[in-house]
Every structure is written in C-alpha cells, then in structure tokens.
Amino acid sequence: MLAIGTLAKRTGTKVQTIRYYEQIGLLPEPGRTEGGQRRYGDTDLDRLAFIRHARQLGFTLEATRELLDLSDNPDRSCAEVDVIAHRQLKEVEVRISRLEALRKELKRMLRECSRDTVSDCRVLEVLRDHSACLANHDKGV
C-alpha cells in the first residue's frame, strides 16, 4: 500500500491534486490507516496514471471522467471513446489555428517596428488601431 506522497511521486502529481481528484469524485475514496492517512493500491495507481495521461493530452477532467467510465465497461463499443477523442482533436486544431494567426501577427508587428521611441512603436500602433492588424479576431481564428 502506498502513502499519498509515494503515489504522487510515481505519477508525477502533486499531493494536493490527488486529494482534489478525490474530492471531485474522479478518484475513489481510498482506505485509511488507523490514524486517518490515505493508503492506495495498484488500481488507484493505474487510474491516476490514466487521468494524468489524459490531462497531458489536453482532455478536460469531464472528458477524462467519461473516458474512465467507458474504460470500466470493456464490452461496449469504442465509438463513444472515439467521439470524445475526435472532439478533443478538433478542439486542439482550433486552438492551433488561432495561435498561428496570433504568431503571424506578432511576428509582423515586431518586424515592422522601427525600434525607436514609444510614439513610433509599430507594436503599440497596431494595438491602438485594429485596422492596422491583419489577424481576423472576429472569426475566432
């Protein structure tokens, strides 16, 4: 049986985060020692590793919860899993294209800057005057 600190180290999680996951019902309440300290088994280790990996891949805790639920029912079709993963993929792709637009505009601003006084700064100029900006913020990209 593992103490919470050991579990934390093995999964690269902070102790508080583990207690937080328990609090929101993502991890089951573990057994306790006489003195009230949490003790974990291998099932908990696997479950927490799963959660951490899902988080590293950008899934929300809610999506992670759904994935865990599905993972607990091995006979069901994996279509639902794939829907969640696909949704996450779309999400990531939207964020990428948004960030690429920002990257482009930031680079342009910096390239065009005269590096003189603030009053001539192209960066501030663009910030003040949206029409000098090539990014389409309105369209969410």
* Interface residue list for Zn ion (CB under 5 A): 78, 81-82, 113, 121, 123, 133, 135
90 lies in the binding site for DNA (CB under 7 A): no
Q: How far is the CB of 70 from DNA (least distance, A)?
A: 17
Q: Which residues are 2's β-sheet partners?
A: 40
> What Å distances lie between residue 88 and 16, 64, 91, CA to CA?
26, 11, 5
Report helix, strand or coil for 57.
coil
Report helix, strand or coil for 40.
strand
What is the x/- site pattern for DNA, positions 12-41, by CB under 7 A?
--xxxx-xx------------xxxxxx---
Q: Enter the tokens of residue 8.
A: 């934390």
138 lies in the binding site for DNA (CB under 7 A): no
Binding site for DNA (CB under 7 A): 3-6, 8, 14-17, 19-20, 33-38, 55, 60-62
